[in-house]
């Protein structure tokens, strides 16, 4: 996220008429994705703090799920890792 943030902030500073406008554009462009990533982390974070007994089925489910995702290419987290920022694309005006 930090690298994405840096690229988007640089684009906003490059394309905006001033620093204030750049930060407003940056927040507009980043808020939705950042909130979605944080939400995903909160959903998956609870799996890490399970009791020793609950870890056994969790590990089995995760193992099977990861194998299935690898075989089918249906990784539910794909949207996080395959995000692309186009440097040449201008930031544009707020919608």
pLDDT per position as a tens digit, 21-41: 999 999 999 999 999 999 988
**Residue 58, in any domain of the structure:** yes
Residues in the chain: 95
**Residue 87, in any domain of the structure:** no
**Residue 94, in any domain of the structure:** no
Number of domains in the chain: 1
**How confident is the prediction for the chain on average, in pLDDT?**
86
**Residue 37, in any domain of the structure:** yes
Cα–Cα distance measured from residue 9 to residue 15, given in angstroms and rounded to the nearest whole number: 10
The range of the structural domain enclosing residue 63 comes to 2-81
**Residue 50, in any domain of the structure:** yes
pLDDT of residue 21: 96
**Residue 42, in any domain of the structure:** yes
Do 94 and 14 meet the contact criterion of CB atoms below 8 Å apart? Answer: no
**Residue 90, in any domain of the structure:** no
Query: Does residue 47 register a pLDDT over 70?
Result: no
pLDDT tens across 55-72, in order? 788 788 878 877 887 788
Q: Is the pTM of this model over 0.75?
A: no
**Residue 62, in any domain of the structure:** yes
């Amino acid at each position: 996220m930090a690298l994405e943030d840096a690229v988007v902030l640089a684009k906003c500073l490059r394309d905006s008429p001033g620093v204030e406008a750049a930060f407003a554009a940056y927040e507009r462009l980043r808020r939705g994705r950042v909130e979605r990533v944080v939400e995903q982390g909160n959903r998956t974070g609870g799996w890490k703090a399970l009791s020793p007994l609950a870890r056994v089925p969790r590990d089995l489910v995760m193992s099977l799920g990861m194998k299935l995702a690898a075989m089918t290419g249906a990784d539910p987290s794909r949207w996080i890792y395959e995000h692309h920022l186009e440097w040449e694309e201008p930031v544009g005006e707020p919608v």
